A and B are shown apart, each in its own frame.
Chain A
Amino acid sequence: MGLLGRIIGGTPDPDAAKHLAEQQARDAAWQTALDSGRLPDFVVKRLADTRAHKLPWVSTTSIGSLMAMRTHGIRPVGMVSGNCWFNFGFSWTKGHAAGWHAAIERMVEEAVILGANAVVDVRMKVSRLAELGREQMDFAVYGTAVTVDSLPPSKKPLVATVSALEFVRLLEAGIVPVGLAIGAHYDWLYQPAYMRQTAMNSLTAAPYMNREMTTISQFVNRVRQAAYGLLASDGARLGTGVLARTQFSELLYFEPEENYPAGRCMYRHIAMGTAVQHEPGMHRPVKVKAVFSVQDKPMRQSLEITEEVI
């Protein structure tokens, strides 16, 4: 009968009660673990068994990466992950920093159990539920915990948000990616409509003239500077520099309402990226060689080309 039988409502599963009890025990274990900032015993056991080679190692990296890791004495140990479903009680913007940091901390905890020196190839992923809109979302990170030959296990493994190939290349150049730095800030500007009108009605300007809206420009700049200030201090906690490849900003306007008769603007900026540790002024040349590839791009289907040239 099996699965199909259960779905169409045939013979009831004789082990249903047992399965339910197991699931409830698991739920309870997760609850206790999350409440006390630890991992459930069954996760700890699996990781410990992986570390002790009782279970196979796990790697999320490309095969090319695996090759490069091998020549550099770096071994994959296991896949580690962490996530944090976050409710934005007072700020969507600030919640991003909190959500990612919490997820990363959980991932690092797994890496510690594996006795790793670093987590490479870290990917970041968000999930949402349509009906919750922007109120809640999940921040998830996963990557491959690695050990570096001849180094003892780290108390706090590095989090490298780069591929294993890049990790190796950076080590060669004396640069170590150490973690994820985030700077997120937002602020309100009240009475934007009023300010806009004043700009238009002043003696020197008429509504048909080109005009910078200086108040809003300055406001936007202030918020962004504050976000970068936070990015720098978050980065300084980890290393000597931040490569903030992800930048998001948004300028919103809210129509006048009872408490804000002249309307209001909100601006937010989120910047995040890989924090690195290096020695400024001390560069180990990587001896780049220029190459010319004679590989052609494969011919594409005619349908794809159509939109570009035909």
Chain B
Amino acid sequence: MSQNPALDGLPKHAIERLKGLRESGQSEGIFTSDLSVNEFLMVREAGFEPIGLCVGSCIYHMGIQYGQWSQNQELNVLSQAMYHARELAMTRMTEEAQAVAADGVVGVRLEVKRLEWDREILEFMAIGTAIAHSSGHPGFKGPQGRPFTSDLSGQDFWMLLKAGHRPLEMVMGSCVYHVAHQGFLKSLGNIGRNTEITQFTQAMYDARELAMERMQNEAHEAGAEGIVGVNLHEGSHNWQPHVIEFFAVGTAVKPIEDQSVIPEPASPQIVIPVND
């Protein structure tokens, strides 16, 4: 067999599959995931095994919000709805992970879908792949012994461990904000002038600030040292043009406690690709 380097040391079952001697897999112990092949490789390289796809969904009816046409303000009802619905979806996903005894969920995607047939209903979905440490090390769980959650890819997960940190939970902050309309006289005054519209600047600033503040508080409560991979999304989910949601999301992390499982740091080699 060793004339072919590709087959050297390949597990017996794999060679049998290649030869076509075995046609079927096994009925038990199958995992499902939404990992790419590279992610699958890197999750295993990090010392973990995928267990199964975990999903939580929540169909949510948004309450009615009254706002003043000419006032910059947070729309509390909508902010709370957007947060509550995502939290329900995330909690359900984490419960599924807990049910299969996972250490955590990687590659979590949080999706919000509008429905064509009702402007007030939104569909929220959290989906990710549950993984477990291959030798059952207990030091990788999230807060209160629950599975950790993270939107990091398999590659990012490997690099985070190399950096001496482990993910705790996905933290998020939401703020739905009404950007005030300008009064007629005010707009008239701006004609022909290059000028900042501070009212709008302030609205965007404030909304972003509120979302980030909430995310940071959540990480603090989870006992995190930091938040990595933060993304800030702006979205308008079927709302009027002046209503926008700022949504901050990231992964709260803390240093790995057990020194013996911290992988060797990887200092990058500088390269110049010649292939593209």
Contacts and interface: CB of A to CB of B under 8 A. Distances in A.
Interface of A: 64, 71-74, 117-118, 148-158, 162, 166, 168-178, 196, 199-200, 207-213, 216-217, 220-221, 224-225, 228, 231-232, 235-245, 247, 249, 251-253, 271, 273-286, 288-295
28 contacts: A64-B275, A73-B3, A151-B7, A151-B19, A156-B23, A162-B37, A169-B37, A176-B18, A196-B61, A200-B61, A210-B62, A210-B84, A212-B58, A213-B121, A220-B59, A220-B123, A231-B53, A235-B30, A237-B24, A239-B30, A241-B33, A241-B50, A242-B31, A243-B40, A277-B25, A290-B268, A291-B270, A295-B272
A274 B275 CA distance: 27
B106 interface: no
B17 A178 contact: yes
Contacts, number: 240
B60 A210 contact: yes
B55 A221 contact: yes
Interface of B: 1, 3-7, 9-11, 13-15, 17-20, 23-38, 40-42, 44-45, 47, 49-50, 52-53, 55-64, 77, 80-81, 84-85, 88, 92, 113, 115-118, 121, 123, 125, 127, 134, 158-159, 162, 266-273, 275
Tell me the interface secondary structure of chain A in the complex. mixed
Given A211-B61, A239-B25, A280-B29, A171 B38 contact: no
Contacts of B7: 73, 148, 150-151, 171
B272 to A, nearest CB: 5
Given A172-B6, A239-B25, A240-B29, A294 B272 contact: yes
A281 B20 contact: no
B262 to A, nearest CB: 16
Contacts of A171: 6-7, 10, 14
B61 A210 contact: yes
Nearest to A273: B34
Given A166-B38, A212-B58, A291-B270, A237 B25 contact: yes
A170 B41 contact: yes
Binding site of B, secondary structure by majority: helix, strand, loop or mixed? Answer: mixed
A84 to B, nearest CB: 22
Given A281-B49, A290-B269, A72 B38 contact: no
Contact of A275 (B23, B25, B115): B25
A173 B24 CA distance: 21
A28 B82 CA distance: 60
Given A175-B37, A228-B55, A251-B115, 16 more contacts: A73-B3, A117-B18, A149-B3, A151-B18, A155-B20, A173-B44, A208-B63, A216-B59, A224-B57, A239-B17, A243-B33, A271-B32, A283-B45, A288-B158, A292-B269, A293-B273
A176 B17 contact: yes
A81 B30 CA distance: 28
Nearest to A67: B275
B148 to A, nearest CB: 20
A294 B270 contact: yes
7 closest Cβ pairs, A-B complex: A154-B20, A72-B6, A208-B64, A292-B268, A73-B4, A239-B25, A290-B266
Contacts of B56: 221
Contacts of A172: 6
Given A231-B32, A288-B42, A117 B14 contact: no
A168 B92 CA distance: 38
A291 to B, nearest CB: 4
A253 B34 contact: no
B14 A253 contact: no
A199 B32 CA distance: 35
A158 to B, nearest CB: 7
B63 A221 contact: no
Given A73-B5, A243-B35, A289-B269, A236 B45 contact: no
A210 to B, nearest CB: 4
Contacts of A285: 45
Contacts of A213: 59-61, 121
Given A220-B57, A241-B33, A277 B13 contact: yes
A63 to B, nearest CB: 9
B34 A289 contact: no
